[in-house]
Amino acid sequence: MTVASKGIDEQPSEDVVANAKTERAVRRGPFGRLALFLRQVVAELKKVVTPTRKELFSYTAVVLVFVVIMMAFVSGLDLLFGWLVANVFGDGSML
């Protein structure tokens, strides 16, 4: 299959870059640039693969677990630094 017979969403990235460079060399008006931008957006959106329901739940669980771990870590640091500041600059009666 040649590059000419492929659709815009099936072109290798080198060909997309080459096409973009040649298209950039051509002067376009504001509407032409907008149309080119929209065509490129549609071509990129066609490449998006929607995750399955199982993958979606898995990704969501991973993100939620990571957020909970980071919240605990930041809360621990906050308590530690608060305790240190209270002991260094205050009377240490924070906890």
Contact 8, 43 (CB under 8 A): yes
Distance CA 13, CA 3 (A): 11
Q: In this predicted model, what pLDDT tens digit does every residue of 31-77 receive, in sequence order? A: 888 998 999 999 999 999 999 999 999 999 999 999 999 999 999 99
pTM: 0.52
Q: Which two tokens stand for residue 54?
A: 């199982």
CA 67 to chain centre: 17
- DSSP 3-state assignment of 14? helix
Q: In this predicted model, what pLDDT tens digit does every residue of 75-87 receive, in sequence order? A: 999 999 999 998 8
